[in-house]
Amino acid sequence: MARPDSEGIRRKALVNAAIAQVGTSGLDVTVAAIARQAGMSPALAHHYFGGKAQMLEGAMRQILADYSSAVREGLSGSGDRLASIVSASVAPENFRPLTVAAWLVFYVEAQRSDWARRLLRIYQLRLRSNLRHALRSEGHPRAAEAAETVAALIDGTYLRAVTEPRFDGRAAVARILAAVRA
């Protein structure tokens, strides 16, 4: 019988704890708080990630990987590329309150951190490229401009989710699609 991958399990626990802590405490989170939430010592957390910045980067990489998986899954089962991309952006697994809060903290962190700026740029380039491709395949006359609009509407959806407790992500998908396809 194979031994469990204890390092992978611990890293995953730290990443999940970092997402939860960032979602509740913002950038004031400490390695000790993340480690405590993950059920381990700060020394062990430092062993696996080196420091707070590396934990935050690991958390954001996980959020981006989850988002990417949701987009790929949506694209594989749908003929409507644009709807799949927008729907993945507000899918329940990507739109949990702590994840939304972590996204917003990530945007703030990108203003002062190279790792966050780099990850944000990669995410934005991929999103816009996917949106342009989807819109061009629909024959949209201004696909590049429309892709920028959809990306901005997705970002705005996250801001509204934070400020409106009963915000409906599914209704947001319909509004975004209607706005760009009008």
Measured CA to CA in angstroms, residue 153 lies from 17, 177, 179 at distances of 29, 10, 9
Half-sphere exposure for 63 (CA within 13 Å, toward CB) = 33
Q: What is the pLDDT along the chain (182 residues), one digit of tens a residue?
A: 555 678 888 999 999 999 999 888 887 889 999 999 999 999 999 999 988 889 999 999 999 999 899 888 888 877 899 999 999 988 877 778 888 888 888 899 899 999 999 999 999 999 999 999 999 999 999 999 999 999 999 988 888 887 887 878 788 889 999 988 87
What is the value of pTM for the model shown?
0.85
* CATH classification code of 6-181: 1.10.357.10
Domain range list for the chain: 6-181
